[in-house]
Structure 1
Amino acid sequence: PAISGCFMMLRREVLEHTGGFDERFFMYCEDIDLCHRINEAGFNIWYVPTTQIIHYKGESTKKNNVDYVVTFNKALYQFFEKYYAGGSLFIFRWLIVAGIITRGVVIYARNFLRENFPLILDTIILNAMVMGSFILRLSLKDGFLWENYFHQYWVINLISTLIFWGAAYYAEVYPHHRLSIQGIIKANLWTFLLLASLTFFLKQFAFSRMVVLIAAFISPLAMIAWRSLLKRRYQGDGSVWGRDLFSKPTILVGDAGSVATLYRKIREKRDFSYDLLGVVTVNAGDGELEKLQIPVLGDLENLDQLILMHRARQVIFSSELLSYEKILRTMSQMGMPQLEYKIAPSNQEVMIGKSSIERLDDYPLVDVEYAIGKPFNRVSKRVTDVLLALPMWLVLLPLAGPFLLARVRKLAAWEIFDRRGKAMVLWRDPARRLRHPLNLFLLIGAVLRGKLSLVGAPMLGIATGFSPSNYWYQPGLTGLVQINRRKILAPDDLEKYHLFYLKNQSLLLDGEILLKSVFVRQPAS
């Protein structure tokens, strides 16, 4: 017999006699393998049903993750291979491997559909409406033939889909506001305005202006309809579609007293679409939360791990004992732009940069987020880096080429901190300033490779001994901190510049920083 998933106790001599744990079964099936060898060695295994423990199944690699499926089933196959493969047929072994792969694909598809169901449904609706409009338009004219559609007009569906995805992510319909009717109207408006403008420039679109008009009217109505339907069906903590899809798994963060009050307020508002997972505290609270039967998940230092473990999509901070600087620093150090963040202020003061307020009686929840974390901003920043860095690199090529040939053996590896605070290697000529054409050429090459950005955090060398804060954005050739270095007199000033850039990053701000960096001398590194 084997006691899989149980708390095991055994004598030291038994463990030494059987050779201990087999490292091939790290995390999974190590207990089954050990029990098998204990049985073979002639020892007895006793199961004691009167004991109790708490066992979090699958937490080593997360039960709903593809990694869990692959790792767990791989361990099972290794156990089979170790003890039984020698007497089994080749085809039987391959059937087991095929089963592992199939189950992994199914789990991945299920998780993908769960996370992206609104996007997939909206995309299907958009394409169905565009195609339906074509069928209607062509049927009224010369008759509709599928051959003609796939030969000439399929590209319209492709372009419509790409424009819609870009508009929807820019409007933050995905992943944050998937049930937002206002957001989906904006996304459709931008999509069909761009499609309508294309009818004047592309010949194949000129025939489809009526198609665009019909689809522009029907598509948003259909997307609004399914959102309205599900919002009416959804009540508090119950949903026919599952709580994790449209309610937001939420963690509250703060001191014991304030999060207890906030937890109660949210629970009392039954139609609020929050799935409260529990609270993360900044102090022990002397068991106050446990007495109120409020689940305590952990402390603030482990917030990022708790978010991953419980698959949270929203974090609400109580600012009773947490300063705004501490909250923003925590957000930046976690580096999780897919999350939604809110602040429940301790008073009625308005936070600078807030986008909206949701009121829970006397508790206003203030939305707070980083502009640099928005998917559109990240993509546009990377595209801008490439578009600007490539011509700069080509211009510097003839200037830096002779120096590169002459000094190639003099180049040295330069270790700096990346946005996660880990070591990243760049190349430079240590005998020359960073603004020398050779070093600029090498650094701009790093921008093209995605290691650096034109505008970003200061490039801190590891050899300097400074310990950086993880500010969640890439080092850059210049940046807001760099051009204001002379104004920074204290660590708090440095933090404020970092947080301002994280909160307000945009292409216009990056452009302004680039222009100012031309006229502001930066400290040599």
Structure 2
Amino acid sequence: MSDNVSSHAETVLVPSTDEVDVSVVIVNYNVSDFLAQALRSIFQSDQSLKVEVLVVDNNSIDGSVDMVRDQFPQVHLIANTENTGFGSANNQAIRIARGRHILILNPDTIIQEDTLKTMVRFMDEHPDAGALGCQILNPDGTFAPESRRSFPTPKIAFYRMIGLGRLFPSSPRFGKYNLTYLPRDQASEVDALSGSCMMVRRKALFGANEEGGSGLFDEDFFMYGEDLDLCFRIQEAGWKVWYTPETWIIHYKGESTKKGEIRYVKLFYGAMLLFIEKHMNGSQSSILTSMLRAGIMVRAGMSVIMNGIRRALPPFMDFAAVYLSVATLGTLRWIQTDISSSTLFFLTTALAYPIATVLGIAIGGGYRNPNLHRIGPALSGVIGGFFFVASLSYFVQDIAFSRWVVGLSLPVSFVFLAIWRGIIYRRRRGPRRAVLVGNAPEASRLARLLAGHPRPPFTLLGYVSDDSPLKADTLCLGRTSHLRDLVRLRGFDDIVFAAQDVSNQSIFSVMRSLEDLSVQFRMLHEGQEHVIGKSSISQVSVGSLKSEFTEVVHLRSSLAKTVFERSLSLVLLPLLPFIWLISRMFAPESNARNAAFMLLHTPLVLIGKAHLIGCRKEDVEWIPASWNIDKGLFPVTNTMRTKELNRDEIVRAYWYYVTHQGYSLDLDIILASFRND
């Protein structure tokens, strides 16, 4: 039996000599929870039939295989070590299935208790039926039109593409693609069914004497179109395809495949093109192929337009927020002084402020995808806009305006930029997420280094390895072949290669296979405490900086630090009453309440009596005077992930701040102070 299984699979079979009525075949791919739900619905169905269940797992990374083994030991499991595609995986199970009927079922479905019995009875009552489908319901209970379909001839496809099928669903001419003109509760002979739930007679596939049938799924179809092609060949072999409304299933649709991805568009329309080239000849094939290619171009164009809109939205929102803030304050100033408004103000000062702000945010990288939610670049941009307008009005007297309006525009604009970011990105992903390609020792070493870093470049969530077992430890996420799914499903930003564990050939192979994903590749060499990226070297441990203590570095000037701290204090000044109210919401001894209390002391920073960022009182004697670090409201050590710090670790943390200090790091220290450990 195992000879019929792909060499890339691990097979677990439950032997039996009993005759089987139905073999349920499920191909699973990263939908463990849905698969468990589907299996439960199968085993809870009518027990009058003899049923076997075969699950083919296409190299999932979500624990599907272990779930089936642990919770459903009666299932015949085929665990592939690579994604062989929908058709190929189904064929693996069909070849060893023993049922006189085979139910092709998606893992993200739920069947009724009588579904198997009803469909078998229909097949027995219609000996000419080679395939049978039933009602498919969407998760909201509506009827899914793909329950029954016609083949996409040029005329049918044209009516669908231009929307006539949707406008006139009851028309036998325009509604033929999904047969919407037929009552949903009417049994009918159709062209094609959905592969999410399709019962096929074994004889229709293999013939009366294991020959002369339609054959199995065409494995040239990777993910879509296989069901259409199989239905076509079943009818060519002399059988009929039927739809019955007597039972139904729920289909959650595409839980393991994101339909918004370009890859989905290519696979779906590529499958349609393959079907046309295979089964339609002459002018029909040429016309429909051209139509489908045009449809692909339209979809690709729409994707480009939508991506452009998404990229333009953040700077547009910033521009609008700052412009409205400045214009509103200017208008209020005119009302207060009883002076008529000036068109020149709206065309110069009010316009220059948001333009300079947006440019400042862009220069600071605030519109790059990982940074869209961060308020640091927004604050830097608003401060830049303030100084630009203040300088411009100083040199060009004709556009000089109230200092009250220009100054107050800074905190008001920043508040609105922070508010819209908080609303839009309230579910932001947080720090960059990384996975290491290598073995457990290097993964543990990197995790330890990152834990002691004041500002780690990423958070290591685990590792993948072809040498370690999946259950070696909690950090192990799977094998190297799982990387694409890990990036797509778990949102990894960085892939770190442990050079001592992975050959260069393997590294290049992985990088090429994932080049279409938005992910950064980094290298961690043996014994090193930094990772090398495309255009940067990131320290993963402050310990690696110890040897650099004696080196000359360019420190941020005291003036630049003072300007930033006082500007930030000016922004916070009108917000202090709200900060006080919010602070009362936190637990009395919590880090968040202590940090909020420190913010209430920012007026001391404004008048030069205190520093915003600095060191703890007890650390002053350890820090060289040349580092220019004084006591501050928010110590640098607040960023450390552990409270058990020795003198050496503390000194290295301050040295890291000295060599990396900037506006963004200062803001990170303040925000880290609110963290409740």
Do the structures match in fold with TM over 0.5? no
Indicate the TM-score class for this superposition, using the shorter chain for normalisation: 0.3 to 0.5
The structure richer in strand per residue is: 2
Larger Rg: 2
The structure richer in helix per residue is: 1
